[in-house]
Chains A and B, each alone.
Chain A
């Protein structure tokens, strides 16, 4: 079975540019979450989407936005890129059974973004 897929795998941008990252969840999973992992740190929560609605947002500036499509895939958009946005961007999918304890999130391989 296919796991979480993300595209592109690598990306190089310059400061001030815009980037769009894509994620397809595991078949049957309706929730997608985005995380940013800077080198040497653990992943940091950016957004969670479920049924095309934002269900959670981390402490990130408005330059970061996301959306979820009817097929449950998702896009993360970052505007006005800064050098500090260089990181591994991870997408995670889960069933999101509405409050089930210990629900597992499965991570995709990530997109490595380098901002020059």
Chain B
């Protein structure tokens, strides 16, 4: 079983749609959680950290369910520029020293 599992997609959605990505992780000792965004042939960039209380950044909302070992990302009012691969990331320690990535979920937003 992979440490971090994601649906690879692709998710094809029209502009303005709401889309949700889910991720599960196997290591119950994981303490830090993130969503990274990766554009084609580019490096991953931090989209947002994920907290137990949930957090929102503009059109993006992330949720963490420690009991179910489940992380989600919700994107509202999708833009063409949101097209990318979204990587679910966990860190088994209290720091971000070792990031464990999922395979990523590809999102394509269309006109």
Q: Using a CB–CB distance below 8 Å, which chain A residues touch chain B?
A: 31, 33, 35, 40-45, 48, 55-56, 58, 90, 92, 94, 96-110
Contact = CB atoms under 8 A, between A and B. Distances in A.
A42 B4 contact: yes
B96 A102 contact: yes
Contact of A96 (B43, B87, B97, B101): B97
B98 A45 contact: yes
A61 B88 CA distance: 26
B42 A103 contact: no
A33 B95 CA distance: 13
Contacts of A41: 103
A48 B32 contact: no
Nearest to B51: A102
Contact of B98 (A48, A98, A104, A106): A48
A54 to B, nearest CB: 11
B77 to A, nearest CB: 26
Contacts of A58: 98
A104 B46 contact: yes
Given A94-B96, A102-B32, A107 B103 contact: no
A90 B98 contact: no
Contacts of B58: none
B99 A43 contact: yes
Contacts of A101: 31-32, 94-95
Contacts of B95: 96-101, 103
A31 B96 CA distance: 11
Interface in B96-111: 96-104
Interface in B1-42: 4, 31-32, 34, 42
Contacts of A96: 95, 97
A56 B97 contact: yes
A109 B98 contact: no
